Structure 1
């Protein structure tokens, strides 16, 4: 059995896979770690037991005792692998030190993943562990797609576009027919990826997860001069700007109501409608640039919580992409079917559930196979 650990900023997803299986044999999710932790198992809330009020390591150890079967290997989602970790890798002291050095590039996620790695090492010191990186899938991009127009010294130091959501995109690339794919991972974090023949060509996130699309609470791309203005003229500290752009912007900031698409769609407030319109506008605008990079598009695929469930958001995006040959079957879209393009559409339009955990499990098998 392969144990998969997916540590979020305040959550931990845990799943057990048999090698090669499409679905986990067991899955657990602890939300609101550090605040009011709540447990669900196989999608159902569990009220009888309360996870500990500690950090990710404490929650991980608590879950390990409750596993229905002992694992033979563990795979971890690690957000940042930097420039050089471009494939799943078995963890050792040297790799751990490298991942520690990347904490400043992903401070909301990297420490939590490392805490879970250490927790596994404490409980099962001889168990092989494999790190799978959200950045790795994008290392196939051409050099120009990764560069910022900064002084050469900064480029040489590694201040480049990394891209994220790579495990989600890698799973799509593994399961969809090859060709020119525009993938939209739309959830609390949101990004687009241009995939050609299974390889990342371009993506909207850059040096950090703050770049690109408007998101639930993140601003996405803004004028760098705006950041300077907030610091110089409004007197905001760097930490205050980080909080503003990461936690108080996006759908939440523009609407002033909620970061939840369902709440905004049910609201009569004009600000709620404007937030949703801006969200889809920014997606269509960025999608146009990625379609240009691909030289056209054969398949548009929606994934992530919003991408999989927000009927109106999908419809608005498809209308905006009609110039590229996208035509939506409204009835199929409303029913959440896997294929939602209209008859005669030049572009295949799909809904594909995000499955980062299966991608991690498969990657663990691949990484450990030679051993």
Structure 2
């Protein structure tokens, strides 16, 4: 693999283990000062009526709550709206932006924390190293395991023209709280889809041309953990959730040192045109990729059968040619992903009609 030198960044601090969430207030107070003494909480709407969790969040009258609906993919237009809401809330900047939930809530918190200190429209920062100013101190609290958003240098956003992340060293959360108790209420189907997001991007990393020893080590161990969880080798739910949190950390680190591939390129097309949620979209796409990732596909189908999860089918059956072509264009534009799959001459190995045929099968 040929690539530019880069010194990679990981989250500045981790807190891992049962009960870690109880210490959120201590971590926030370390960042407050007399000028910046309030907090923005960007929380998954799942917790809106979960008083047993919400009452544990250390809030005061100055703080701002923004509820994040996880049904839709993160959008640049909403990042801009959340930024404006924060800037209008107090006369000073917040000390901390907390993102709590799945990948959607965490990516919104990462992107919004950056846009508070960077001018303009968030769509103009979709790409690599376009952010110039460090953002507000960001604490992420995953409540589902698999996306890797909590350790990723990317905040994935759907803009008016493309789905592409804000990706730079500043996007990495400053601090992450990993508390497996927060995963206890995750639905079995959501647990599977998000876990498979982790499994799939590991498969793509391991089979890509960009893989190196560091990325390989993270991806192999991450998938070992995923397979133990989803082939039911761990009967204790808390221990399984704790293990998936570790798998998510390692999977997120793997794609920092490597790259995703065919599945993610196509799932971005589904997300932009049909609004398909990321984890579900990856499973829909991977269900058609036995020719590209045969070993990973076999394990995926084994885990699916054991978990009893039905993967949606026929979602493109009523799509127009225009919609299918738009999906193709979104996917085709993700050159770095195709480069990872096939190498710099990737256009000699894949074409738009082949991609369109894959979408038609979904």
TM > 0.5? no
Q: Provide the TM-score with structure 2 as the length reference.
A: 0.27
Tell me which protein shows more helix as a share of its residues: 2
Tell me which protein shows more strand as a share of its residues: 1
Q: Which structure has the bigger radius of gyration?
A: 1
